[in-house]
A and B are shown apart, each in its own frame.
Chain A
Amino acid sequence: MLSAESLKKIDYELTKYPADQKQSAVMSALAIAQDEKGWLTTETMDFVAEYLDMPSIAVYEVATFYNMYNLQPIGKYKITVCTNLPCALSGANEAVTRFRERLGIGFNETTADGRFTLKEGECMGACGDAPVLLVNNKRMCSFMSNDRIDQLLEDLSK
């Protein structure tokens, strides 16, 4: 089940597509569900499938294909650092090192207190602002020097 608020958002997304093409809303529906639940359990995906009149397997296919969906429990803050070439030329690997040192975790790991998960990302289309990272998919942070990383972690630890 999803909250009334989430369902309202999904209903809005459904207005964008022809009435017989509800499946088109699956990507946004899964993103909305993930925002509410943190990660996508099979039950949540089945619910979305039923809501959009889709076979469950078709929802699983989408959830596993696109890499911003969380298919496992995740920290309160998912930090995804782009390490692709343009970012790497401008300090992305140094940024990753800073996170590793400060958080004591590597990629795909979560801190013991459940607060932070670190992920390696691919191009986010903001290479001029390198190093670039995302907090929980939706908040982009640019020019992430060590100082700015420290500041971010401090803000998120409050």
Chain B
Amino acid sequence: MNQPVQILLAGLNPSDPDDWRLRNYEQREGYAALRKILSEKIPPEKVIEEVKKSALRGRGGAGFPTGLKWSFMPKQYEGDKYLVCNSDEGEPGTFKDRDIMRHNPHMLIEGMLIGAYAMSIKAGYNYVHGEIWDVYERMEEAVDEARAAGYLGDNILGSDFSFQLYNHHGYGAYICGEETALLESLEGKKGQPRFKPPFPASFGLYGKPTTINNTETFASVPWIIRHGGDKFLQLGKPNNGGTKIFSVSGHVNKPGNYEVPLGTPFATLLEMAGGMRGGRKLKGCIPGGSSMPVLPGDVMMQTDMDYDSIAKAGSFLGSGAVIIMDDTTCMVRALERLSYFYYEESCGQCTPCREGTGWLYRIVHRIETGKGRLEDLDLLNNLADNIQGRTICALGDAAAMPVRAMIQHFRDEFAYHVEHKRCLV
């Protein structure tokens, strides 16, 4: 294997309990990008230009070009604007932002500072998943450190740039990973997504222009400023710049986070994760978090890990959560658990999702428990059709896509379950 190319997890020493601290981060060139911007007085539009050049795409799941998103913020707006980091990492299979925040919290803070500078924003929030309380506390401590060192607050490093950053914790709602639900939650309300438009860039937190990016997205920015957007782009492949952390879970020998350049073959990633547990055969893989369509093992083995290659193979890179299932996995049971999740987490606002996710779960459940009918397979597809694209947010799509893909790729197994009232495996 070639020399590992890393940005986000580079140079970390897991055996040092203080490795996350400010002084250690500074030793890893930390805050050098911010210093460069402030000392050279680089114009904000140049910063956005550099991020555009890098082809950095949103690491939370949607893959939207970050530089383009930043350019949507109104430039002449006189009032308050907000910057929000979406660290509400709850997409099943995803655990990368947790590692960035607990091992490299200042990289996130520096990335947010640069974003704030580029969009002339004075205040920001980092919304941390409620279940990772120790990580929230670490972020609190890291923000305190940055504030004490003059990286956060008024007149940062003696410049006329000021930025305040605060952490806010969730308390158990998957839907708050959806950006407008997250804004509602930040305002102290139920996390129910808003209609778009208006988009957050014009009507966001407290009704003010707001930009929301994922943790990993922000954390990628300091490197881009230090080394240039072109260099970041070259690490990956055209339209898929940089490295990406893949969270590998399920039936592998070494589950964990692996940062690799986009475009790395799936087979290489699987090897890094120690290969299949017990040397078994790869049956299926969900390459981008539980909301994305499953792909059969043989298709995965031919695929590269980047946005465009995975889309071509029939799924999405999503959040980079790679869920590995070997040939002992019952796909009906796997889908049953996922469908229960979307049913449980639907916010209840849109009828197709609120009612439809329950229907999906109950039908998959009856197939799993030997009470299914063959026509249920078409009924599931029909239900998925009536949910997908018919709701305010993407949770409806997220519930529908796994159902469709599971039936598409493993229809025989579902039919076997119906006919024999038991698993094929």
Contact = CB atoms under 8 A, between A and B. Distances in A.
Interface of A: 16-18, 21-28, 30-31, 52, 54, 58, 61-62, 65-69, 83-86, 88-90, 121-130, 134, 137-140
Contacts of B185: 27
Contact of A128 (B166, B170, B173, B247): B247
Contact of B341 (A16, A24, A28, A122): A122
A68 B338 CA distance: 20
Question: 9 tightest A-B contacts by CB?
Answer: A23-B188, A68-B172, A86-B249, A16-B166, A124-B131, A67-B172, A138-B133, A127-B249, A26-B188
Interface string B325-338: 10001000010011
B95 A125 contact: yes
Given A24-B168, A124-B132, A137-B171, 15 more contacts: A18-B80, A27-B188, A62-B189, A65-B347, A67-B172, A69-B171, A85-B334, A86-B290, A89-B250, A123-B92, A123-B174, A128-B248, A128-B256, A130-B249, A139-B133
Interface in B87-117: 89-95, 97-98
B404 interface: no
A26 B125 CA distance: 15
B321 interface: yes
Contacts of B98: 125-126
B170 A122 contact: no
A11 to B, nearest CB: 14
B93 A127 contact: yes
Interface string B241-260: 00000011111000111000
Interface in B162-215: 166-174, 185-191, 206
20 contacts: A18-B80, A18-B206, A23-B188, A24-B188, A62-B189, A66-B173, A68-B171, A68-B172, A86-B93, A123-B90, A123-B91, A123-B92, A123-B341, A124-B132, A125-B89, A125-B98, A125-B129, A125-B132, A137-B171, A140-B131
B10 to A, nearest CB: 19
Given A125-B98, A130-B255, A25 B341 contact: no
Contacts of A85: 92-93, 290, 323, 334, 337-338, 341
Given A18-B206, A68-B172, A126-B98, A90 B133 contact: no
B392 to A, nearest CB: 16
B271 interface: no
A127 B131 contact: no
B93 A137 contact: no
Contacts, number: 159
A100 B140 CA distance: 36
Query: Chain B, interface size: which category?
Result: 35 or more
B221 to A, nearest CB: 22
Interface of B: 80, 89-95, 97-98, 125, 129-134, 166-174, 185-191, 206, 247-251, 255-257, 290, 321, 323-325, 329, 334, 337-338, 341, 344-345, 347
Contacts of B80: 18
B323 A68 contact: no
Nearest to B87: A125
A42 to B, nearest CB: 18
B250 A86 contact: yes
Most chain B CB within a 10 A radius of its CB, from A30, A54, A68, A85: A85
Given A66-B171, A84-B341, A125 B90 contact: yes
A62 B188 contact: yes
Contacts of A65: 173, 190-191, 347
A66 B323 contact: no
B168 A27 contact: yes
B190 A61 contact: yes
A9 B325 CA distance: 44
Nearest to A126: B95
Listed residue (A58, A69, A122, A123) with the most chain B CB atoms within 10 angstroms of its CB: A123
Contacts of B169: 27-28, 31
B133 A28 contact: no
Contacts of B190: 61-62, 65
A58 B189 CA distance: 7
B90 A127 contact: no
Given A89-B249, A134-B131, A122 B188 contact: no
Which of A58, A69, A125, A130 is the most central at the interface, judged by chain B CB atoms within 10 Å of its CB?
Answer: A125
